[in-house]
Structure 1
Amino acid sequence: MDEPSSPLAPLGADHPLRALPIEVTISVGRARPLVRDLLKMGPGAVMPLDRRIDDPVELYIGERLIARGELQELPGGDGGQLAVRLTEVARPQGDLT
């Protein structure tokens, strides 16, 4: 008798789920302004973040942290397009390497 496959088993190269798009959110930092300061903001206002420009960014799928990386500009093309070079990737257990 065949054993049922585990829902966590690796997907084969031709598995249809591999073709599904997912949304990855890149977090570059957070701000915690007071409401009164937000109400004063208009075009051209600057909101400082809790990170520096060289700090790693975090990649999330939903609420789950899946990786960290560095912001980079893609060479060629239109110029100015951002990308992320991964520096740490989460293991299946959820911890980062």
Structure 2
Amino acid sequence: MDDETEMGGTATGMFTAVPIEIIVAVGRARPLIRDLLRMGENAVLPLDRRVEDPVELYVGDRLIARGELEEMEGEQAGQLAVRLTEVADLAGGLD
């Protein structure tokens, strides 16, 4: 099949409406197993980043962007969002 599909659209264009899952990584934790086993409700698990550090956005294991966490306003008040500050060249990726 060439770039045109039987439906009249381009082969690339037919995938633009397919949803994907983006993972937002805010940090990593590396506890010892014994410490993890001792954790219960209200335990605090320290991460390797600070609140003001950028978060990373992944599709699968591919880094696609970095950004800052924000809280939505209006009808979506209280919901988290990410303001993108750096976007990968999807052909080449981020460093």
- Normalised by the shorter chain, which TM-score bucket? 0.7 to 0.9
Distance 1:18 1:92 in 2: 14
Amino acid of the residue matched to residue 36 of structure 1? R
TM-score in terms of structure 2 length: 0.83
Same amino acid, percent of matched pairs: 61
Could you list the structure 1 runs, at least 4 aligned residues long, displaced by more than 6 angstroms after superposition.
Answer: none
Q: Please list, as runs of the form range in 1=range in 2, the aligned pairs for 1:3-82 lying within 5 A after superposition.
A: 15-82=13-80
1:1-32: CA deviation from partner (whole Å, max 9, x where unpaired):
xxx65xxxxx96x9221110000000000000
Is the counterpart of residue 91 in structure 1 residue 89 in structure 2?
A: yes
TM-score in terms of structure 1 length: 0.81
Q: What 5-or-longer segments of structure 1 have no aligned partner?
A: 6-10
Residues paired across the two proteins, number: 88
Amino acid of the residue matched to residue 16 of structure 2? R
User: Over the residues paired in the alignment, what is the CA RMSD in angstroms?
Assistant: 2.1
Q: What 5-or-longer segments of structure 2 have no aligned partner?
A: 4-8
Distance 2:15 2:45 in 1: 40
CA contact (8 A) 2:64 2:90 kept: no
